[in-house]
DNA sequence: ATGGTTGATGGTCAA
C-alpha cells in the first residue's frame, strides 16, 4: 500500500497537477493540505472517476484538508478532541481530518504556521501541537497496536539539517526550541518518522518558498511528515519525496512525500 | 527593477 501527503496550496489552482499525480503515482491514500475550499466547492467527481473516495474538511478559502482513498474510506473524523481554535471569537479551523483507509487511521494535518515568534498565532501553534500529542498519547495508551499515520504539513523543521540555512531561520518560526519540543512530543507519544531513513541525502527538503529562486537554489525546508505508530512503522518498505512535483509552472510550494507499506508486518523481530 | 512569488480576493492578508 502506498500513502502520500501533499500540501497543494489551493486544490483549485492545482487540480490538473493533482489528478496527473494520482494517475501516475500509484498512491492508494493521499492526505491533502491547504485545499483552500469549502466542502461544497470540493471537486469530488474527478477523484471518484479515478477510483478514490473523498473525505474533505473545509470551512472557507483558508486551510482545508482531505483524505483521498482507493482502499476504503470509513469513519471520517473532522478535527480532533481538544483541538484549539484561533481568533476572537476562537474558531476551530479546518486543519485536521481523518478516516479509516486500508485498515489504517490516516490523518491529514495542517499545523498552524505560527507567523512570528511572539505572535498569538505562535502560541496557537504550540497549543495545537500539544493537544494533538495528548490525543495520540491517549489513543496509543488505549491500544498499543493501533495503526496510525499522522500525515501533513507540520510547519516545523525538526533538526538543523532540515533547513537550508540555520542562520536564516534563527529569529523566525519553524526551528525554534519550543516548536521542536512540540514535534518531539509527538515522537514521545509513540510516533516515528520512517521517511527519513529513506531520504538521508543532505539538503533533502519538502518545501521551497516561491520567492528568491529558492527551489532552483535548493534553499528549502523539510516540514512535511508522515508520522507513524509502531504497527505501521513495522510495515514500511520504502519512502520518497517527489521533488519533480515542485518543478515547472503551476507547482505547489510543497512536494509530495510518499510512504510504501507491506501488506503485513514482517514475521521476525517485531514480537511484543 | 525602490522590486522580491503565489493564491484568494477584490483591500490586503497569509504563507
The helix/strand/coil state of A166 is helix
Closest CA to A265 of A240, A238, A230: A230
Grid cell of A226 as nine digits = 508522515
The residue segments making up the domain with residue A196 are 2-270
Contact indicator for A35, A64 with CB cutoff of 8 Å: yes
Cβ contact A97:A140 at 8 Å: no
Sorting pLDDT into bands at 50, 70 and 90, what band is A24? very high
What is the CATH number for A137?
A: 3.60.10.10
Name the band, by pLDDT with cuts 50, 70 and 90, for residue A264: confident
Does A245 sit behind a cis peptide bond, omega within 30 degrees of 0 on the bond before it?
no
pLDDT band at A269 (very low <50, low <70, confident <90, very high): low
pTM: 0.96
Is any atom of strand B within 7 angstroms of residue A91's beta carbon?
no
Residue nearest to nucleotide B7 (CA to C1'): A10
Query: For residue A254, what is its C-alpha cell?
Result: 510543497
Q: Is A174 a catalytic residue?
A: no
Nearest nucleotide to A9 (CA to C1') is B7
Could you say which of A52, A110, A124, A207 is catalytic? A110
| The dihedral sign for the CA sequence A190, A255, A112, A57 | negative
Does residue A179 carry a pLDDT above 60? yes
Task: Place A253 in a pLDDT band, splitting at 50, 70 and 90.
Answer: very high
Length of chain A, please? 272
A61 a catalytic residue: no
DSSP state of A116: S
Q: Per-residue pLDDT averaged across A175-190, rounded?
A: 98
Q: Please say if A254 is a catalytic residue.
A: yes
- Residue A176: pLDDT band with limits 50, 70, 90: very high
Q: Compute CA A168 distance to the chain's CA centroid, rounded to the nearest angstrom.
A: 24
Name the nearest CA neighbour of A73 among A28, A109, A34, A41.
Answer: A28
End-to-end CA distance of chain A: 24
- Please state the domain count of chain A: 1
Mean pLDDT of all residues in A230-237 = 98
Residue where the block lists cell 512536494: A255
pLDDT for the residue numbered A266: 74
Q: Strand B closer than 7 Å to the CB of A112?
A: yes
Tell me: pLDDT of A121 over 90: yes
pLDDT averaged over chain A?
97
pLDDT tops 60 at residue A256? yes
Percent of chain A with pLDDT over 90: 97
Q: Alpha carbon A248 to chain centroid distance?
A: 23
Amino acid at each position: 500500500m502506498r500513502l502520500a501527503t501533499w500540501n497543494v496550496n489551493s486544490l483549485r489552482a492545482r487540480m490538473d497537477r493533482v489528478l496527473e499525480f494520482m494517475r501516475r503515482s500509484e498512491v492508494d491514500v493521499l492526505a491533502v493540505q491547504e485545499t483552500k475550499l469549502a466542502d461544497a466547492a470540493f471537486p469530488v467527481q474527478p477523484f471518484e472517476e479515478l477510483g478514490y473516495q473523498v473525505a474533505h474538511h473545509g470551512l472557507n478559502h483558508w486551510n482545508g484538508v482531505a483524505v483521498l482513498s482507493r482502499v476504503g474510506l470509513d469513519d471520517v473524523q473532522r478535527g480532533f478532541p481538544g483541538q484549539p481554535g484561533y481568533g476572537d471569537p476562537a474558531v476551530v479551523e479546518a486543519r485536521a481530518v481523518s478516516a479509516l483507509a486500508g485498515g489504517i487511521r490516516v490523518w491529514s494535518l495542517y499545523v498552524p504556521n505560527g507567523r512570528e515568534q511572539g505572535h498569538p498565532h505562535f502560541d496557537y501553534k504550540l497549543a495545537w501541537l500539544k493537544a494533538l500529542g495528548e490525543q495520540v498519547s491517549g489513543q496509543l495508551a488505549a491500544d498499543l497496536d493501533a495503526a496510525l499515520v499522522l500525515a501533513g504539513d507540520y510547519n516545523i523543521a525538526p533538526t538543523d539539517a532540515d533547513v537550508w540555512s540555520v542562520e536564516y531561520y534563527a529569529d523566525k518560526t519553524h526551528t525554534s526550541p519550543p516548536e521542536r519540543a512540540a514535534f518531539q512530543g509527538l515522537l514521545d507519544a509513540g510516533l516515528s518518522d520512517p521517511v527519513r531513513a529513506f531520504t538521508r541525502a543532505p539538503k533533502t527538503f519538502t518545501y521551497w518558498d516561491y520567492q528568491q529562486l529558492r527551489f532552483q537554489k535548493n534553499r528549502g525546508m523539510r516540514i512535511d511528515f508522515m508520522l507513524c505508530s509502531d504497527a505501521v512503522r513495522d510495515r514500511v518498505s520504502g519512502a520518497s519525496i517527489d521533488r519533480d512535483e515542485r518543478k515547472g509552472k503551476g507547482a505547489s510550494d510543497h512536494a509530495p512525500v510518499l510512504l510504501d507499506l507491506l501488506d503485513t508486518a514482517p514475521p521476525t523481530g517485531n514480537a511484543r
